[in-house]
Amino acid sequence: MNKIKYILLFIIPILIVILATFFASSNPDGLEWVAEKLGFLHFGKESFSILGNYSLINGIIGIFTTAAILIGVGFLLNLTNKKKKG
Amino acid sequence: MHLPDGFTDPKISAGLAGAAATVLGICIVKVKQLLSKKVPKLVEAMETGVGNITNSTKSFISANTSKIFLAGFVGALIFACQMFNFPINDGTSGHLLGGVLAATLLGPYLGIITMSVILIVQSLFFADGGFLVLGVNIFNMALVGCGLGYLIFFLLNKYLPFKKLNFGIAIFIASWSSVVLASAFCAIEVGLSGKANLQDTLYAMVSVHSIIGFFEAIITLILVYMLKLLKIDFGAKNE
């Protein structure tokens, strides 16, 4: 029961990503806006990235990558615990 | 408030990366202990957040795995919410940081790790926050936003005199202050790097983020109560 529940839960972030790709504001965020106003925006450098922009597919990839890393790290920590005991 | 590369001095970036790494190390040790040991109730309540009430050893074992899955879910949820920029006055926008959300659902240690993983994915995959200033961003949004935010939440939840209302009020105030504090740290780092006047940056950042903070507080409250309504057993039940 619980496992199905956790999988179904992921509908919520996926829905939020779908809504975000349609309705998110493209205005600069707080920091960028301040940087523009106070004239230090030009110091910012473009850095490399694997996927680039936040599109619908990229957002969903991002969600599952984050979840996978966290669950992976969690089980790794749990696993090393058990080894120590035995 | 994800800093791009170039806004901060390399010295500050390196120093804060060191601080972030140290605290993350402590968090990993603490989470490992939490996953392996049955801690006394009082310490547990302090360390694991409000959701986790376990009594028997049996339920504790399944609580471990549920906690891990819950961390994955909360990470995904906050990642999604951070994509959703809502417009604010004067051509700017804001989005949820989720520090206090992560801390109340997962406890501060797992919360800080969750926030850091989100920031790492954002930086590597989307260049949202530069890779060289990853340590600074983790310091601002995970350590300050989540860690300090949880401390404020914990103290208010314990000492406010409103009984049943304490929880909601504590979440509201803590999430607002977590955003404002994180933005203040961000401004100080930029100011100390000599890229802009410290006082002007601090004033501008704090005033914009005190508006964004209200949205943060409202969204955090909605999400926490929504998850409560969905009866997500934060590791309390057996499978």
pLDDT in tens, B163-175: 888 889 999 999 9
Where do the domains of chain A lie? 13-21+53-86
d(CA B131, CA B140): 15
pLDDT in tens, B41-94: 444 555 555 555 444 444 444 566 778 888 999 999 999 999 998 988 778 999
Q: Which residues of A touch B80 (CB under 8 A)?
A: 12-14, 16-17, 20, 59, 63
Residues above pLDDT 90, as percent of chain B: 51
Mean pLDDT of all residues belonging to chain B: 84
pLDDT in tens, B128-177: 888 889 999 999 999 999 999 999 999 998 888 888 888 899 999 999 99
Higher pLDDT, B212 or B33: B212
Residue B211's pLDDT band (boundaries 50, 70, 90)?
very high
Contact yes or no for B93 and A59 at CB 8 A: no
A43: nearest CB among B6, B87, B121: B6
A vs B, Cβ pairs < 8 A, gives 210
- Tokens 């473009």 label which residue? A46
B203 — contact with chain A (CB < 8 Å)? Answer: no
**Phi, psi (degrees; rounded to nearest 5) at B88:** -125, 170
pLDDT in tens, A50-65: 887 888 888 899 999 9
Positive or negative: CA dihedral B55, B58, B60, B63: negative
Q: Give, rounded to a whole angstrom, the gap between the first and last alpha carbons of chain A.
A: 31
Residue ranges in B50-165 assigned as alpha helix (H): 57-83, 99-106, 108-126, 134-137, 149-159
Q: Which of residues 64-83 of A touch B (CB under 8 A)?
A: 64-71, 73-75, 77-78, 80-81
Higher pLDDT, B223 or A46: B223
B157 — contact with chain A (CB < 8 Å)? Answer: no
pTM over 0.95: no
- Note the pLDDT of residue B53: 46
Q: What domains does chain B contain, in order, with CATH numbers?
A: 10-238 (1.10.1760.20)
- B206 pLDDT above the threshold of 90: yes
